[in-house]
Amino acid sequence: MLEIKNLKAQIEDKTILNGVNLKVNKGEVHAIMGPNGSGKSTLSSVIAGNEDYEVSSGSITYEGDDLLEMAPEERSHRGVFLSFQYPVEIPGLSVSNFIKTAINEKRKAFGQENISAKELLQLFKEKCELLNIDKEYLSRSLNEGFSGGEKKRNEIFQMAMMEPKLSILDETDSGLDIDALKIVANGVNSLKSSSNSIILITHYQRLLNYIVPDFVHILKDGKIVMSGDKSLAQKLEKEGYSFLN
């Protein structure tokens, strides 16, 4: 599904990714861990198409096509989803209108009709239940005045509504209390299937107790320096990043 080869990226002349290699197959869950400033968020931004970052070399192939050639919206239409570490607030735009438009923009890109009101309502109802969200919240302005946890839950709600093939969850666990974490993790687990993939970016092993990864990678100084299975995360939790030295 996704293949990253020797990816180097920079922001304003500062190199952040320094040769990342990663292969994610259908149905796999990968966790990327690493100390602060190691490039985790940059990697997710580059995959989603944030133009603030410049890719200086390397490639990202998604479903056999050059992902770096695609505009951010095209990546989204093709099924790439980034759950933001810091979701933006958009006063004046309701959650429901935002999600409806997102769904319809994708449909438009594939020459399909807009989603019907009935279908949309059904989908809202189903996904609200999944994530334990009060329907009243759909009419609120997007992320405006949301607590940190609500914002993260809203990201996963969007993920549930848009049914992406490749989801990158950038520190979705930070800012969540234990109950919210369980709800979000349950939501993510129920969206998991053999045809979609998830990349979890996290600092802590805590999230991985609930969403069990197939692979764990450690990113350091813009490179993946170690990969393993879920036991690697446990080792990290116990020993810290110092064991890498």
Partner 1 sequence: MLIEEIKKHVVDADLTSTQKKSLDYFLENGFPTTKDEDWKYTSLKKVLKRKYCLKSSDFELNDEMIQQYSLGFKDKIIFKNGKIYSEPKILGVSIKKMRDLIMPKNSALCYLNEAICENSYEIVFDKNLNLDNPIEILHFINNDNDYFLQLRTKITCGSGSNVKLVERFCNIGNNTLINSCMHADVKRNGFFEISKLQSYNDNTHTIDNTLVDQDRDSTANVHTFSFDGSFIRNNLNFYQNNENCTSNMNGITIINKSNFVDHHTFVDHKFQNCLSNESYKGVYFDNTKGVFNGKIMVRPDAQKINAFQSNNNLLFSDSASIKTKPQLEIYADDVKCSHGCTIGQIDKKSLFYMRSRGFSEKTAKGLLTFAFLIEVIEKLNTKEIVDYAKTEIAKKLSIEKDLL
- What residues line the site for partner 1 (CB under 8 A)? 48-52, 71-73, 75-77, 81-82, 84, 87-88, 90-93, 97-98, 101-103, 105-106, 109, 141, 158, 162
**Whose Cβ is closer to partner 1: residue 117's or residue 178's?**
117
Q: At closest approach, how far in Å is the CB of 166 from partner 1?
A: 12
Provide the 8-state DSSP code for 244: G
| Contact partners, residue 26, CB within 8 Å, separation at least 6 | 1, 194, 195, 196, 197
Q: At closest approach, how far in Å is the CB of 128 from partner 1?
A: 18
**Whose Cβ is closer to partner 1: residue 167's or residue 205's?**
167
**Whose Cβ is closer to partner 1: residue 91's or residue 145's?**
91
Q: Which of 154, 153, 164 shows the shortest CA–CA distance to 191?
A: 164
**Whose Cβ is closer to partner 1: residue 42's or residue 205's?**
42
Helix 95-109 with 148-162: angle, nearest 10 deg:
30
| Contact partners, residue 192, CB within 8 Å, separation at least 6 | 29, 198, 211
Cα gap 109→6, rounded to integer Å: 31
